[in-house]
Structure 1
């Protein structure tokens, strides 16, 4: 439960999420106030459950908004807020443009 620990440090709850085609895992983790998205992911231990996750390379976001340094800061800079959901994204298997071209070509047939 969010609150204050014996050292007077305030804690908040955030979620860390990872999804595969047929499986989704959301871990609720209590982190110190001022914690970054990357630190929250590290504390969740999610990369120990999914060995394909590389928390230093895989893209992340907050509620579908990328943490890429453009609109929102990077995962190592973004300070999580209470009830944030930090999402770890899987790499794309096919370039979206190529996938659209392939679908259009198949539709013509």
Structure 2
């Protein structure tokens, strides 16, 4: 099976590895084939969430040919707080209503 493994450790930085595994294979087995995953400190690996095609999964989840395994970093800022900060910084930016809208 051909599996893609993706991880963005920082903005604008991406680890992308394609691995070949015999069926049946698990998410954990796909990660174990990635050198950058094995080189990561254990506590860092444990802090990451994993998923397949943007759906959270455990490491024992079975994969299908062509699946994309993704690793998700913890959020640094609460999304609501980030919006508040952007609003304070940038103000309200709305497109003006057109004369025909109504």
Q: Same fold (TM over 0.5)?
A: yes
Residue 37 (structure 2) pairs with residue 47 (structure 1): yes
Alpha-carbon distance in 2 for matches of 1:85, 1:53: 23
Which of 6, 22, 46 pairs up with 1:17? Answer: 6
In the TM superposition, residue 53 of structure 1 has moved relative to its aligned partner by 7.8
Q: Which runs of 5+ in 2 are unaligned?
A: 93-102
Q: Which runs of 5+ in 1 are unaligned?
A: 1-11, 68-73
In the TM superposition, residue 89 of structure 1 has moved relative to its aligned partner by 1.2
RMSD: 2.3
After TM superposition, what 4+ stretches of structure 1 lie above 4 angstroms from structure 2? 49-53
- Aligned to 2:17, what secondary structure does the other structure show? strand
Q: Which has the higher helix share?
A: 2
Q: TM-score, normalised by structure 1?
A: 0.68
Q: Residue by residue, what CA displacement relative to the aligned partner does 1:31-72 show, whole Å, maximum 9, x if unpaired? A: 1212111221112223145558843431111122222xxxxx
